[in-house]
Amino acid sequence: MTNQLKRILLGDQGLVVIFVVAFALVALLVPNFLTERNILGLLQSVVTVGIVACTMMFCLAARDFDLSVGSIVAFAGMVAVMASNATGSIFVGVLAALLCGSIVGLFNGLVIAKFRINALITTLATMQIVRGLALISSDGRAVGINDPNFYQLALSKLVGIPTPIWVLAVLFLIFGFVLNRTVFGKNTLAIGGNPEASRLAGVNVDRTRIWIFALQGLVCGIAGILLASRITSGQPNAAVGLELSVISACVLGGVSLAGGRATMAGVIVGVMIMGIAENVMNLLNIPAFYQYIVRGVILLLAVLLDNLRSSALGRR
């Protein structure tokens, strides 16, 4: 009996099983959890982390790191609001935000791949540079949105479900496909498994890494636009500390920091666990200060489980 339990928990789908069990428990025990309003709210609350986690998964899988995501999200939000205010066109604002996000990402990628500077250091630098840009552009103040249609990006609904949740779902699908079914995805995992062997096996390692960071920037742009629309303004201080939540969610979802191992399903579960934990604590009126502790403990437990799993698989 205990053996069987152990096998399920430590198996490939262990995390998913734990997630399902936890979800069922929470649904039964926490009042108001399983209501349409709460579930939609829960999903809304994980949109930013979830979107950015899609590409952070690629970054980590290739043994890289990106700390600049929070800053890019804030910066892209500022750009979206300011550009659409200036031109009167939301479309131009959105395009400008996506472009700015991609450019920062591309810059990260070029510096890391071509100048061989450690990803941690590079993105630590761009994290501060880009946050600085966001603050300078508005002199440190929030910028209100002129055109009320901009709110509709986050508020509009499709078949009863808010647009940002649709965007998140579509990105999950796209990046799940990219990871498993494209050369780019497989090359990413191979680079994480053994960068030098991948290069000698004909993988264009530099180009793949540049693409990973550029995509990360683009996706941060999307998250930034949706966030700005939801909080109805461009906030230069938005999304501080986002990088840590995103990396936590990925690690929680079984992405190996040593590279070479990642699944989209795992990352989705990781994002949801973080979201549910926060949601439940809010429903139970647990003060925000304690929530930090709970999040930290969950992360540690998940990594511990992962460790147990890899040693159970055995080395030969």
Partner 1 sequence: MSFLEFSHISKTYPGVKALSDVSFSVEKGAVHGLMGENGAGKSTLIRVLSGDQQADGGEITIDGQAQKYASTRDAFHAGVIVIHQELQLVPELTVAENLRLGRFPANAGVIQARQMFSEVGEKLKSAGIDIDPRRKVKTLSIGERQMVEIAKAIMLDARVIALDEPTSSLSSRESEILFALIERLRAEGKVILYISHRLDEVFRLCDSLTVLRDGKLAAHHASLRDVTREQVVAEMVGREISNVWGWRPRKLGEVRLKVDGISGEKLRQPASFDVHAGEILGFFGLIGAGRSELMRLVYAADAATTGKITVDGKPVRSADPHQAIRSGIVLCSEDRKHDGIIQGRSLEENINISSRRHHTRFGILNPQKEIEVAETFIKKLKVRTPSRKQDIVNLSGGNQQKVILGRWLSEEGIRVLIVDEPTRGIDVGAKSEIYHILYQLAEDGMAIVVVSSELPEVMGICDRILVMCGGRISGELKRDQFAEQAILAAALPDKKTPTAIAS
Considering only CA atoms, which of 174, 180, 158, 193 is closest in space to residue 60?
A: 193
Query: What's the half-sphere exposure (Cβ side, CA atoms, 13 Å) at 80?
Result: 37
Q: How far apart are CA 75 and CA 229, in angstroms?
A: 13
Of the candidate spans 196-204, 221-229, 278-286, 287-295, the one that interacts with partner 1 by CB under 8 A turns out to be: 196-204
Give yes or no for residue 309 binding partner 1 (CB under 8 A): no
Q: How far apart are CA 157 and CA 153, in angstroms?
A: 9
Give yes or no for residue 194 binding partner 1 (CB under 8 A): yes
Alpha carbon distances (Å) from 115 to 60, 66, 91, 102, 257: 19, 16, 35, 19, 22
Read off the tokens for 258. 């040593």
Give yes or no for residue 23 binding partner 1 (CB under 8 A): no
**Ramachandran assignment for 202, one of left (phi > 0), alpha (psi -120 to 50 degrees), beta (any other):** left
Q: Which is nearer to partner 1, 199 or 309 (CB)?
A: 199
Of the candidate spans 76-84, 90-98, 119-127, 184-192, the one that interacts with partner 1 by CB under 8 A turns out to be: 184-192
CB 200 → partner 1: shortest distance, Å?
5
Alpha carbon distances (Å) from 79 to 127, 137, 142: 16, 9, 12
Q: Which is nearer to partner 1, 41 or 193 (CB)?
A: 193
Using the rule CB under 8 A, which residue among 202, 285, 288, 292 binds partner 1?
Answer: 202
Q: How far apart are CA 60 and CA 256, in angstroms?
A: 7
Give yes or no for residue 115 binding partner 1 (CB under 8 A): no
Of the candidate spans 92-100, 111-119, 162-170, 254-262, the one that interacts with partner 1 by CB under 8 A turns out to be: 254-262
Give yes or no for residue 183 binding partner 1 (CB under 8 A): yes
Of the candidate spans 14-22, 164-172, 274-282, 308-316, the one that interacts with partner 1 by CB under 8 A turns out to be: 308-316
Q: How far apart are CA 81 and CA 96, in angstroms?
A: 10
Using the rule CB under 8 A, which residue among 261, 281, 286, 308 binds partner 1?
Answer: 261
Binding residues for partner 1 (CB under 8 A): 181-184, 186-187, 189-190, 192-194, 196-204, 256, 260-261, 313-316
